[in-house]
């Protein structure tokens, strides 16, 4: 979004204000503003239909589903994961008293590299937590084969993967559970929010206990739960946004097409093309800058864009494995993560959202091409 002469990486999808006000009036009149109200229930049902999943539990943010998934599956010991993600992925492992084990990523999709998973498995390993980075699906079939062979659970951090499908099947149907983020920066948002996807009614019921302090009824607590419930206001916000999300994704698609057409022949600039048989959501548009070929480092280009009011993002830099609480882990050694280290040093996510205009996008491209 352009603010003055500044163009930001994203702008939130917002509902029609009059429609939202009408729903707010109904919420005030009902005096039911949280605790599984009608709009909360309606949003869960609508999202199940839209996302082609059997069960979904709404949360107040996108981090609590990660924490809860590990609890619900009773994960112990070590969890194999990626260093190339938002810190919440690894933090959720740490908060559960577990040990994250980092493995390198696949440069084709920036997701966890299946070739590196098995060599990281130890007798203490109980789960794999991959990330569908930028909405690009991981190699879900190979990850599942590895998990089945070693008796491991798979929890996908699908924060970027709202609506993503492979061969007509929701990417959220893979693994034991998947989590979503509905933060304002995401393709679909409830201002703050998130969700946990599972595959059977008993697990859904258990998750719903865990996100409500463990209460089964007024007097019985069946698990040491947490307060993760989404309220009625954000549920209503999400219901209205869901009606607009397809149009927003299509606008993003057109933005991606223009970026690719303009940047394809620029030496030293790499980006992702669409993956075959995948319904993408165009959540981000990362480029990767090879300084030797481009003639400018990633950081120099990043600063040049900022000087022109274009606020790109080095997403994900630095790697989670470099942060103080994790860098002591043997798996955090940069020699163990050569691809992730290189990509983290090359990436800039360009502005990508449903309000980005041709004129704004051309201004971005002119600076990159004429450096």
- pLDDT digits 0-9 by tens, 215-268: 999 999 999 999 999 999 999 999 999 999 999 999 999 999 999 999 999 999
Structural domain count of the chain: 2
DSSP 8-class letter at 272: P
- One domain for residues 332 and 202: no
- One domain for residues 228 and 293: no
Phi, psi of 215 (to 5 degrees): -70, 125
- Secondary structure element (H or E) that encloses residue 79, with its range: strand 78-81
Using a pLDDT cut of 90, give the percent of the chain over it. Answer: 98
Q: Is the pLDDT of residue 90 over 70?
A: yes
Q: What pLDDT is stored for residue 5 in this prediction?
A: 73
Q: Is the pLDDT of residue 56 over 70?
A: yes
pLDDT bucket at 371, cuts 50 / 70 / 90: confident
Q: 33: domain CATH number?
A: 3.40.640.10
Q: How does the average pLDDT of the chain come out, rounded? A: 97
pLDDT bucket at 165, cuts 50 / 70 / 90: very high
**Domain span at 328:** 2-10+245-369
Q: 339: domain CATH number?
A: 3.90.1150.10
Q: What pLDDT is stored for residue 4 in this prediction?
A: 52
- One domain for residues 255 and 326: yes
- One domain for residues 110 and 121: yes
- One domain for residues 99 and 159: yes
- One domain for residues 22 and 151: yes
Are 238 and 56 spatial neighbours (Cβ–Cβ below 8 Å)?
Answer: no
DSSP 8-class letter at 275: P
Using a pLDDT cut of 70, give the percent of the chain over it. Answer: 99
- One domain for residues 160 and 307: no
Q: Is the pLDDT of residue 325 over 70?
A: yes
| Long-range contacts of the stretch 40-43 (C-beta < 8 A, 24+) | 40/229, 40/230, 40/231, 40/232, 40/235, 42/235, 42/239, 43/190, 43/230, 43/235, 43/238, 43/239, 43/242
Residue position matching structure tokens 């919420």: 27
Bridge partners of residue 102, in order along the sequence = 81
Q: What pLDDT is stored for residue 8 in this prediction?
A: 94
Q: What pLDDT is stored for residue 1 in this prediction?
A: 47
Pairwise CA distance, residues 269 & 263, whole Å = 7
DSSP 8-class letter at 286: E
pLDDT bucket at 2, cuts 50 / 70 / 90: very low
The domain boundary, picked from 195, 221, 242, lies at 242
The domain boundary, picked from 196, 212, 242, lies at 242
- One domain for residues 313 and 178: no
- One domain for residues 223 and 320: no
Q: Is the pLDDT of residue 22 over 90?
A: yes
The domain boundary, picked from 242, 273, 293, lies at 242
- One domain for residues 181 and 304: no
pLDDT bucket at 110, cuts 50 / 70 / 90: very high
Q: What pLDDT is stored for residue 37 in this prediction?
A: 97
- One domain for residues 168 and 218: yes
Q: How far is CA 300 from the centre of its chain?
A: 27
pTM above 0.85, yes or no: yes
pLDDT bucket at 7, cuts 50 / 70 / 90: very high
Q: Is the pLDDT of residue 294 over 80?
A: yes
Q: Is the pLDDT of residue 328 over 70?
A: yes
The mean pLDDT value for 42-53 works out to 98
Q: Is the pLDDT of residue 82 over 50?
A: yes
- One domain for residues 236 and 250: no
Q: In angstroms, what CA-CA distances link 14 with 5, 247, 348, 353?
A: 22, 12, 25, 12
Helix, strand, coil: what percent of the chain each, to 5?
Answer: 40, 20, 40
């Amino acid at each position: 979004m352009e603010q003055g002469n500044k163009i930001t990486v994203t702008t939130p999808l917002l509902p029609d204000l009059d429609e939202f006000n009408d729903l707010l009036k109904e919420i005030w009149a009902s005096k039911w503003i949280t605790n599984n109200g009608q709009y909360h229930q309606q949003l869960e049902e609508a999202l199940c239909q839209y996302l082609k999943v059997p069960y979904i539990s709404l949360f107040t943010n996108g981090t609590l589903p990660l924490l809860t998934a590990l609890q619900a599956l009773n994960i112990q010991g070590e969890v194999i994961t990626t260093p190339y993600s938002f810190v919440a992925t690894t933090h959720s492992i740490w908060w559960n008293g577990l040990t994250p084990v980092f493995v390198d990523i696949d440069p084709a999709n920036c997701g966890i590299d299946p070739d590196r998973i098995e060599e990281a498995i130890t007798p203490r390993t109980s789960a794999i937590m991959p990330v569908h980075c930028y909405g690009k699906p991981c190699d879900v079939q190979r990850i599942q084969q590895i998990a089945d062979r070693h008796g491991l659970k798979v929890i996908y951090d699908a924060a970027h993967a709202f609506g993503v499908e492979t061969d007509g099947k929701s990417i959220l149907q893979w693994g034991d559970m998947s989590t979503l983020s509905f933060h304002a920066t995401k393709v679909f948002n409830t201002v703050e929010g998130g969700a946990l996807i599972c595959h059977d009614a008993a697990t859904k019921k258990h998750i719903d206990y865990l996100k409500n302090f463990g209460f089964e009824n007024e007097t019985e607590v069946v698990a040491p739960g947490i307060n993760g419930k989404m309220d009625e206001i954000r549920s209503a916000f999400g219901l209205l946004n869901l009606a607009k999300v397809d149009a927003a994704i299509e606008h993003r698609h057109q933005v991606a097409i223009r970026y690719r057409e303009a940047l394809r022949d620029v030496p030293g600039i790499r980006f992702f093309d669409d993956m075959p048989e995948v319904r993408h959501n165009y959540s981000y548009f990362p480029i990767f800058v090879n300084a030797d070929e481009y003639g400018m480092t990633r950081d120099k280009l990043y600063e040049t864009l900022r000087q022109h009011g274009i606020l790109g993002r080095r997403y994900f830099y630095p790697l989670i494995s470099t942060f103080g609480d994790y860098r002591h882990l043997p798996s955090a050694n940069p020699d163990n993560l050569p691809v992730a280290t290189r990509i983290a040093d090359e990436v800039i996510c360009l502005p990508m959202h449903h309000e980005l205009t041709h004129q704004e996008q051309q201004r971005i491209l002119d600076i990159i091409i004429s450096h």
